[in-house]
Amino acid sequence: MTIVEKVTRRRAEADSAAQPSRAVVTRSPGLRPVEDGHRPAGQGDYLQDLLERWILFLDTLRERADNMIEHEREGLPPLLDFKFETILDARRFDEPANYALLRITQVGDDCAEACIDESKAPVIVFDPRAGHGPGIGGFKRESEVGMAMREGHPVYFVMFYPEPMPGQTLADVHHALRRFVAEVAQRHPDAPPVLYGNCQAGWAVTLLAADCQGLIGPVVLNGSPLSYWAGEAGSNTMRMLGGLVGGSWAAHMVADLGDGRLDGAWLAQNFEALQPEKSIWEKYATLFTNIDTERERFLEFERWWNGFYFLSREEILAITRNLFIGNKLETGEMRICEHCTADLRKIRNPIVIFASKGDNITPPAEALGWISHLYEDTAALKAAGQRIVYLTHEHVGHLGIFVSAAVARFEHRAILESIEELHALPPGLYEMKIAKPAGNPDCHKPDLEVRFEPREVADIGKTFPEDAFRNVAQVSELNEKAYDLFVGPWLRAWTTPATAAAFQAMHPMRWSRLMFSERYNPWMGAVQAIANTTRATRAPLSDDHPAIQAERTAFAQIENQLRQGRAARDKAISGIFRGLYGASAEGSPDAEPTRKD
């Protein structure tokens, strides 16, 4: 057993011992004592329970708002559950960028050196810079960072600061990341580093492997979009939004209104709009229904979700023009700097692609579609000397790919334990299959069985209508020129730091949270006082109470109605896009990799 596992066990035992036993609670002289913290069916008043949950629900929203304010006052530090030291700060480079390289130094009360196996490859975890702050890859013990530590790998983490450097470009970021990787490789010369890229960080890592210098070492891409035009017919509407607004000019305008910066709250709002039945209903309904058990989990995640970071105008324009709308990474046309253009065909690193069928932000088509675009068939892939391994999850959502503890213990552990096998694979395309003994979520090899089954490039298939999206790119270029000629100069002249701050404060992702803080809403002080009293005497109704069952049924029906509305909206978006840019805009009816058995 490693030191980290021992620390984790001791922490769990301490937490268990610290939990107070449920005392007998009496609610009024007319009620019998309540054992196990629940009122038996028929003895409690549902309206009383409903009111108590409502007070505790509001108080949780109050605490979320206060956490958000406090986190911003602290400077939005990375939410890592591990101690670390800063190795390099790219803000001090000749070409500065708002990034830093961290080394994980301590787990609990023990130094990381106690469990590190220096013969193993170092792992560098790159978190996504897509509106939120860093830390999601390691904000709890059972995470990508935690699994890498448990397996004995030296672990490094790439973080970024809330504010970009003035005029910061993607080239500045790219060169900073390359220097980070070189630093880690120099510290561990015996094994090339494993690069772990989550979501947006996945394509940033891919650029490192595809640029004019190239890198060595496996690349693990988790929910990372590389084929931006790919998707399933009638769904995955994020790829169509750029066409519906007329291209990149909208992002340019928002960045101009932000005084040269794009507020990450806009990106977070786009993510929430993809599945409103989850973001505006299920998340809060689950909290309200299970307020006695869900509060801490809700607050932990929301502390990260509501920490909004900024991108420079130059960065967001390069991203929208080259990736989201132009799809130039897949086509080999993305220019990183004056002397280098990224070409995915240059990659010789073993690549592991982890995607999920339940991911509506980066569906399997976006994660895998570039393979069949670059390589005509499996023979061409083998001739290029490339090894690509993919694995798919059946249902986990986008964030679950790199947040879920169950995924970290299973898929990510299996990936890390298979690094040597990846290097030994002959060139080709493989699907990674993992099997574990029933009832053992923490098993290792050889109990954890991992197979690499050969696949054909043709199994992935073509998944997007290129003509329709090329039309979008042309329209975007025209609209961008018109905006920059007739509108942009006026907005930039009128915008000041004060107007940008007001524009930022008025964003719905902020005021919809902050309105529950006592700082902005004095009534929340009374809510907090009532909630404290309620917690001291609360005994919830049992789950099998008829009124509780009826409530959950009603909530499920509302969620289902919202889901149906969202599906109708997605279908309408697909129809409008098809009408504007081409009859074939829906693409293939099945964008997921399939077998030809």
- What is the structure's pLDDT at 234? 64
* Mean pLDDT lowest among 220-224, 259-263, 503-507, 543-547: 543-547
Q: Is position 63 within any domain?
A: yes
Cα-to-chain-centroid distance, residue 16: 31
pTM, 2 dp = 0.88
Rounded to 5 degrees, φ, ψ at 438 are -60, 135
Cα separation, 135 vs 304, whole angstroms: 8
- Whether 95 and 69 share a structural domain: no
- Extract the tokens encoding 80: 């890592």
Clarify whether residues 480 and 504 are in a common domain: yes
Q: Are residues 162 and 98 in the same domain?
A: yes
Tell me the pLDDT tens digit for each residue of 96-123. Answer: 999 999 999 887 666 666 778 888 999 9
Report yes or no on 21 lying in a domain: no
263/306 same-domain check: yes
50 and 126, same domain (yes or no): no
pLDDT at 318 over 50: yes
pLDDT at 216 over 80: no
Residue 484 lies in a domain: yes
Contacts of 5 (CB under 8 A, 6+ apart): 150
pLDDT of residue 524: 96
Last residue of a domain, one of 464, 494, 529: 464
Q: Which of the listed residues 464, 493, 527 is the one where a domain comes to its end?
A: 464
Residues 223 and 348 in one domain: yes
Domain stop point among 440, 464, 488: 464
* Helices 291-305 + 46-73 axis angle, to 10: 20
If asked whether residues 492 and 417 sit together in one domain, one would say no
Q: Rounded mean pLDDT of 574-590?
A: 68
Query: Are 208 and 256 contained in the same domain?
Result: no
Share of the chain above pLDDT 70, in %: 87
Place of tokens 């009832």: 439
Predicted confidence band of residue 438 (pLDDT cuts 50, 70, 90): low
Does 554 lie in the same domain as 505? yes
Residue 147 domain-assigned? Answer: yes
User: In angstroms, how far is CA 186 from the centroid of its own chain?
Assistant: 30
Check whether residue 523 and residue 412 sit in a common domain: no
Residue 214 shares a structural domain with residue 349 = yes
Per residue in 337-390, pLDDT (tens digit) is: 888 899 999 898 899 999 999 998 899 999 999 999 899 999 999 999 999 999
CATH number of the domain to which 360 belongs: 3.40.50.1820
304, 64 contact by CB (below 8 A): no
- Domain annotation covers residue 12: no
With respect to residue 11, please indicate whether it lies within any of the assigned structural domains: no
Comparison of pLDDT for 215 and 36, the residue scoring more: 215
Between CA 67 and CA 59 the distance in angstroms is 12
What is the SS3 assignment for 593?
coil
Compare 570 and 20 and report the one with higher pLDDT: 570
Q: Specify if 391 maps to a domain.
A: yes
Q: Is residue 426 part of a domain?
A: yes
For residues 312 and 427, state if they share a domain: no
Total of domains in the chain: 2
What is the residue range of 273's domain? 40-75+248-326+469-586
pLDDT at position 173 over 70: yes
